[in-house]
Structure 1
Amino acid sequence: MKYRIREQNELKPSGVEWLGDIPKDWEYHKNKYIFKRISNNVGDNYDNYKVLSLTLNGVIERNMNNMGKMPSSFSIYQIVEKDSLILCLFDIDVTPRIIGYVNTQGIISSAYTNLIVKNLYSKYYYYWFLTLNNQNILLNYTKSLRNTINNENFMSLESLVCSFFEQQKIANFLDEKSKIFDEAILKKEQLISKLELAKQSLISEVVTGKLKIVEQNSKLQTIKREENELKSSGVEWLGDIPKDWKLTKLKYLGDAIIGLTYSPTDVVDKNEGILVLRSSNVQNKRITFEDNVYVKSVIPKKLLTKIDDILICSRNGSRNLIGKNALITEKSQDLTFGAFMTIFRSKYNKYLFYIFNSDIFEAQSASFLSSTINQLTTGNLNNFKIVLPSLEEQQKISKYLDEKLIHFDNTIEKTKQSITKLKEAKEAFISQTVTGKIEVL
């Protein structure tokens, strides 16, 4: 499908600041003339319907094997029909996606607003609300502490109206263009996944001794160790290890220290206390300072971070976050850390940091993760089995991985930036089209 940018003389002021100009033959109507809210409770017939969920990927069938947060009974859910719109009009400030388009009949939480479109093309309004979502427009109309828009207020808001035929053209065009954007984004996300796997695989092969670091032409490189250089570790998941490496436990190499317990009354403003590092401060194996909490409290000396400490997320509602870690640097020293975090302090930490980011950690996760417990205790951590080479080889390994992983990280970062640009371009294209600046031919 072809398109063109409309000329300025084809447009008129909308009277709405964020919207700008719109085509001269388009109008702006109250929602009550466009939409009808439907609330049809499923009752005891819920077994006859697919259970749906509103996600960043749209309205999808819920994975019942991944239970998550479930209602006491699905009898309180509402029936939704194909081509209707699902809106989340509460907690708008923290809801990543407020709009979904229903592709198949099913049931969904009654907390959502279920809309059908009167005599117009519903998929067009999916893209309309997606634009409002992307630009946080509806947040300006919320009330109450939960940033909610009630039904009466929603129906008094206004939405764009053009002909059914033009709405259909726009929706079909945006379906086509969105697919192109999404496929490009997916390829880049798959590249990142492959790079992350290759990166972890390299770390694991090196820190378990399967690959040997050698110097060739003044550069550190890896070669595969010969069988006669290896011995059995006696640990099934670890396999063979170099003959001169020793199998040991973390408790013989350093100290695991649980973080600070503090109360809400201890929390103060930035200039009044000390920064408490928490799980949110650990991102991509680095310490970040974007979500900070400060406390005014007496901090024991051992709870102050030191350079080369390894900060580990040891308790969290999400099991996927248990074990995520970062190395303390000059910028993050002399801070404290929360009770759901653990510091491992050792003279071997530059090497051990790579151990924590290898398959060695994953292989032993069953010892502390279960369906009901997401916790890495100091006892678990102390009993972690690792293989330890000589200090000289540790330094060689750390140097090699420091240099090698920069290339992985740079490629991953550039790919993430590319994804961000694609997403921004997609949002802008949808906005320009759904508001009439772009005409679909």
Structure 2
Amino acid sequence: MSLPKHAQYKDAGVTWLGTVPKHWDIRRVGYYFSERREKVSDKDFAPLSVTKNGVVPQLETAAKTDDGDNRKLVRIGDFVINGRSDRKGSSGTSEADGSVSLINTVLTPTSEMSGRFAHHLFRSVPFQEEYYRFGKGIVADLWSTNYSEMRNITLAVPEFSEQVAIAAFLDRETAKIDALIAEQEKLLALLAEKRQATISHAVTRGLDPNAPTKDSGIAWLGDVPTHWTVTRLKFIATVQTGIAKGKDVAGKATITVPYLRVANVQDGRLDLEQVATIDIEPEQLDRYRLQLGDVLMNEGGDFDKLGRGALWTGAIEGCIHQNHVFAVRPHGVSPQWLNQITGSIYAQFYFMGRSKQSTNLASISSTNVMELPVLLPPVAEQATILQFVSHESAKIEVLSESVQQAIGLLKERRSALISTAVTGKIDVRGLAETQAA
């Protein structure tokens, strides 16, 4: 879609804006907003979460603190922004009265500022970059911007009616893009389900639909091929627990080694782009070192992370693992087969049933992991099933990558559209119905 530009532009005097429409006003944030600093209790004003999707009722996954009587008041129409750089993009206009933690900045717009225009402007990538440029701190994830700095950021703002037109245009167009993204994400989830179902059926029923079956002896597993055996993980593997972080090694001789965390262990793959290090005593290396063929499993975390795992192929020399990642070391079965078993739907069902659970979190002990029922076809049949699973998974992966690329392009389009509209690079006044913000 080709969008029109304004007839005349002027230099805004700041790099992040560049040139802006000639009729737009150049003023600082402090002209259009005042900071709301009133302290309240979450007993009187419901707690809100400031997320990348905007300001919403407090999420169940939100970190619980003891600041209940020491929070900031938020009124309908206020704009709330999280000042921490590791929360970049977490902001939005509140549609409800409530309270937020003190790390957030609460802004009340003047009558010259449309709330919806501010919502899009402050959440745009160019403004976010300028916002954090005005901040200060020690390191990137402890970098924050206070209102005393934010109020001096230069804005280019049109008259109120044009603000409303821009907001209406962006509300409509981003809703269309969001709908397309949601469709693609639904497709991505369906592909993941198909992959999981394909694997689970293959490792619990085999590839021959006509093979005779027998009762597995496990109610929730049902029948399995007659010639397969059922054993427990503890008879064909050992579980190596990992090292706990935080041990005091002051004054002791130590070595620095790579350290695998839950974040590195994804579903069926390892993410080794960012691998942390830890200082340990030299004699601990052999105790916690990962070995080729270890099947890695997450001990806990969010429900979708429980039991999630991948095969260790020795990508990093001398790497150890944290206590929240189990290294299952097979000795009576191939690592590849065991990896498919632990990643199957039936294994996930078992892990959830044996886990300790709290709100959105779960964890399982190594003792319970060792009791996992493991299905064992003859070795030759295992190889055939693994080849089939690999082939089918590869086809699904190609489709998934294509969908992920489409999602990425849609998100880039959405971001670019917002940025160009709120900085006046396009003229949308004739493309949106003006309505009260």
TM-score class, shorter: 0.7 to 0.9
Aligned counterpart, 1:156 = 152
Structure 1 residue 265 displacement after superposition = 7.8
Distance 1:5 1:264 in 2: 62
Q: Does 1:417 align with 2:405?
A: yes
Number of residues of Structure 1 aligned to a counterpart in Structure 2: 415
**1:317-340 CA-partner distances (Å, limit 9, x unpaired):** x45423221111253465322233
Q: For residue 337 of structure 2, what is the amino acid of its counterpart?
A: Y
Distance 2:62 2:128 in 1: 29
Quick one: structure 1 residues 182 and 349, their matched pair in 2 at CA, closer, same or farther if it must change by over 3 Å?
same
Distance 2:392 2:43 in 1: 58
Aligned counterpart, 1:165 = 161
Distance 1:307 1:101 in 2: 51
Aligned counterpart, 1:429 = 417
Q: Is the 8 A contact 2:166 2:421 kept in 1?
A: yes
Distance 2:41 2:190 in 1: 46
Structure 1 residue 73 displacement after superposition = 7.1
When structure 1 is superposed on structure 2, of 334-343 and 393-402 the one drifting more is 334-343
Q: Does 1:277 align with 2:260?
A: yes
Structure 1 residue 71 displacement after superposition = 4.6
| Aligned with residue 290 of structure 2, among 293, 300, 305 | 305
Aligned counterpart, 2:345 = 359
Q: For residue 336 of structure 2, what is the amino acid of its counterpart?
A: K
> Secondary structure at the residue paired with 1:69?
coil
- Identity of matched residues, %: 24
Distance 1:243 1:45 in 2: 61
Aligned counterpart, 1:219 = none
Distance 1:315 1:121 in 2: 45
Q: TM-score of the superposition, structure 2-length normalised?
A: 0.86
Aligned counterpart, 2:334 = 348
Aligned counterpart, 1:188 = 184
Aligned counterpart, 1:24 = 22
When structure 1 is superposed on structure 2, of 163-172 and 325-334 the one drifting more is 325-334
Distance 2:117 2:151 in 1: 18
Distance 1:369 1:354 in 2: 24
Quick one: structure 1 residues 42 and 261, their matched pair in 2 at CA, closer, same or farther if it must change by over 3 Å?
closer
When structure 1 is superposed on structure 2, of 395-404 and 108-117 the one drifting more is 108-117
Aligned counterpart, 1:81 = 75
**1:366-388 CA-partner distances (Å, limit 9, x unpaired):** 21332288433321221111221
Alignment of 1:34-113 (within 5 A): 34-43=32-41, 46=44, 50-62=46-58, 66=60, 68-72=62-66, 74-89=68-83, 91=84, 93-113=85-105
Distance 1:355 1:284 in 2: 13
| Aligned with residue 388 of structure 2, among 371, 391, 400 | 400
> Secondary structure at the residue paired with 1:195?
helix
Quick one: structure 1 residues 100 and 6, their matched pair in 2 at CA, closer, same or farther if it must change by over 3 Å?
same
When structure 1 is superposed on structure 2, of 371-380 and 279-288 the one drifting more is 371-380
Q: Is the 8 A contact 2:76 2:96 kept in 1?
A: yes
Structure 1 residue 52 displacement after superposition = 2.7
Quick one: structure 1 residues 135 and 154, their matched pair in 2 at CA, closer, same or farther if it must change by over 3 Å?
closer
Aligned counterpart, 1:217 = none
Structure 1 vs Structure 2 CA RMSD: 2.7
Quick one: structure 1 residues 266 and 160, their matched pair in 2 at CA, closer, same or farther if it must change by over 3 Å?
farther
Distance 2:337 2:246 in 1: 35
Structure 1 residue 358 displacement after superposition = 0.8
Q: Does 1:368 align with 2:355?
A: yes
Q: Is the 8 A contact 2:214 2:226 kept in 1?
A: yes
Distance 2:20 2:303 in 1: 48
Distance 2:109 2:121 in 1: 13
Q: Unaligned regions of 5+ residues in structure 2, if any?
A: 431-437
> Secondary structure at the residue paired with 1:175?
helix
Structure 1 residue 40 displacement after superposition = 4.1
> Secondary structure at the residue paired with 1:420?
helix
Q: Is the 8 A contact 1:311 1:342 kept in 2?
A: yes
Distance 2:292 2:185 in 1: 33
Aligned counterpart, 2:372 = 384
Quick one: structure 1 residues 155 and 320, their matched pair in 2 at CA, closer, same or farther if it must change by over 3 Å?
same
> Secondary structure at the residue paired with 1:94?
helix
Quick one: structure 1 residues 334 and 177, their matched pair in 2 at CA, closer, same or farther if it must change by over 3 Å?
same
Q: For residue 357 of structure 2, what is the amino acid of its counterpart?
A: S
**1:61-99 CA-partner distances (Å, limit 9, x unpaired):** 235xx374335475544443322211222x2x2114332
Q: Is the 8 A contact 2:74 2:98 kept in 1?
A: yes
**1:349-377 CA-partner distances (Å, limit 9, x unpaired):** 11111111111222212213322884333
